[in-house]
Amino acid sequence: MNIKKTAVVTGAARGIGFSIAENLEGIGYNVVYADMLSTDKDFYVKCDISSQEDRANLLDATIKRFGRVDLLVNNAGVAPKVRMDILETTEESFDRLMDINLKGTFFMSQLFANQMIKQPPIDGDDGKIVKPGLSGESLPHGGRIINIASISSYTSSTARGEYCISKTGISMVTSLFADRLAEYGIGVFELRPGIILTDMTAVVKEKYEKLISEGITPIKRFGYPQDVADAVVGICKGHFDFSTGQVINVDGGFHIRRL
């Protein structure tokens, strides 16, 4: 009997997360849409990833509905409510971003990784449960975790320093879990979106339009949620299974150092 793989996408009600979730459905995954905002999608679970109770409820709901989880996309995240110079940033704003963006991502990864470890893996080709490979054999796909970080992982924005720090932390979360989970055949990856046209960037759209037109990115256009979703799909099709811990920039070339 073939078994469909199941994906959990956080922050899935709109923007990047919504596009990722829809694309995963398009390649045959059962998809759990997790968000604080509601959606009319078939299986939605309200979840504040900074809450231990909500994280546990999300996993429980997923297992009760689908019996397993094969992919976690840690997309949920927030920006500061008010952009403030780092000489004025409040502890309240700092703690809010650390709790959601960083702590939430870490403990979501921990919780769902333990579920992936204990469940039987599914063969990537025919959807059948298979036994773990022996030494020297190719490991079956034991699951994947994809963290959505940002160019802010390495780019200074002194008017929202707490955001940059939270995204930098996600990069280390990726490395740590990639290292720890490799023995189980669980791949962990990081995507770094650049200037993506979403609700979060809409408030500074004119600023970014000017920067793009002036060449801040070699590819002179906004990124779109679909650009990020395309990278997720590529990972999920197994094209990067020997590249655990890899960072994939989805940024129009912003990461290229240029004169």
Q: How far apart are CA 9 and CA 196, in angstroms?
A: 18
pLDDT at 124: 55
**pLDDT tens sequence for the chain (259 residues):** 578 999 999 999 999 999 999 999 999 999 999 999 999 898 999 999 999 999 999 999 999 999 999 999 999 999 999 999 999 999 999 999 999 999 999 999 999 999 999 998 876 555 565 555 444 444 455 899 999 999 999 999 999 999 999 999 999 999 999 999 999 999 999 999 999 998 877 777 889 999 999 999 999 999 999 999 999 999 999 999 999 999 999 999 999 999 8
- pLDDT attached to residue 134: 45
Torsion of CA 105, 161, 201, 168, to 10 degrees: -40
Token digits for 161? Answer: 């320093």
Q: What domains can be seen in the chain, in order of their start residue?
A: 6-249 (3.40.50.720)
The pLDDT value recorded for residue 202 is 74
Residue 82: count of CB within 10 angstroms of its CB: 11
Q: What is the DSSP letter of 122?
A: B
Burial group, residue 134, by CB count within 10 angstroms (0-12, 13-18, 19+):
exposed
- What's the pLDDT score for residue 198? 87
3 state DSSP class of 5: coil
- CA angle 39-4-24, nearest 5°? 45
pLDDT for residue 135: 46
Per-residue pLDDT at 131 = 52
For tokens 């990639």, name the residue: 178
Conformational region of residue 190, where left means phi above 0, alpha means psi within -120 to 50, and beta covers everything else: beta
Cross-sheet strand order for the sheet of 71-74? 44-46, 30-35, 6-10, 71-74, 144-148, 187-193, 247-250
Sign of the torsion formed by the C-alpha atoms of 192, 10, 20 and 226: negative
pLDDT at 36: 97
- Helix extents (H) in the chain: 15-26, 52-66, 91-97, 104-118, 161-181, 199-202, 205-213, 225-236
What's the whole-model pTM score? 0.92
Q: 32 - beta bridge partners?
A: 8
Query: Among 38, 42, 116, which residue's Cα sits nearest to residue 72?
Result: 116
DSSP H/E element including 188: strand 187-193
pLDDT recorded at residue 138? 45
Structure tokens belonging to residue 144: 């994947």
CA-to-CA distance for 252 and 250, rounded, in angstroms?
A: 6
